[in-house]
Amino acid sequence: MNLNLTGQHMVVTPAIRDYVVAKLDRVNRHFDHVIDVNMVLSVDKLRQKIEANLHVRGKDIHCESIDADMYAAIDALADKLDRAVIKHKEMLLAHRHDGAERKRAPDGGAPLAGK
């Protein structure tokens, strides 16, 4: 997984980078086919904003979080990314398994001919 961490109007410290990497570990644990992660951390007066674009095969997932504290915004973003990745993974599994179930006979036996 490639991580690109950018700061707008702020310096990305090693402590923040380590915290983001630790939080992204949870996303990687649920779905290990993540190709790229682009994150933008920005500060606008009292508003801390973090945006993430997660690139997986066949889809780009975008999430953002705004909070008064940067670490709280990172936590909220990690939760949102985790839910989005799990939803994407379940959709892939459901898509794969629905096709196999339709081709089976109603009694669960051998596949139907011609379908």
Task: Give the pLDDT confidence of 55-64 residue by residue, as tens digits.
Answer: 888 789 999 9
Catalogue the E-assigned strands of 45-79. Answer: 47-56, 59-67
- Structural domains of the chain, ranges and CATH numbers in brackets: 2-102 (3.30.160.100)
Helix (H, G, I), strand (E, B) or coil at 58: coil
Q: Cβ neighbours of residue 26 under 8 Å, at least 6 residues apart?
A: 78, 82
Mean per-residue pLDDT, 31-58: 90
Prediction pTM value: 0.77
Burial of 74 (0-12, 13-18, 19+ CB in 10 A): buried
Tokens in use for 79?
């939760």
Instruction: Give percent of the chain above pLDDT 70.
Output: 83
Tokens in use for 11?
């310096």
Instruction: Give percent of the chain above pLDDT 90.
Output: 53
pLDDT value for 59? 87
Higher pLDDT, 104 or 44: 44
Band the pLDDT of 73: cuts 50, 70, 90. Answer: very high
- DSSP secondary structure of 17-43: HHHHHHHHHHHHHH---EEEEEEEEEE
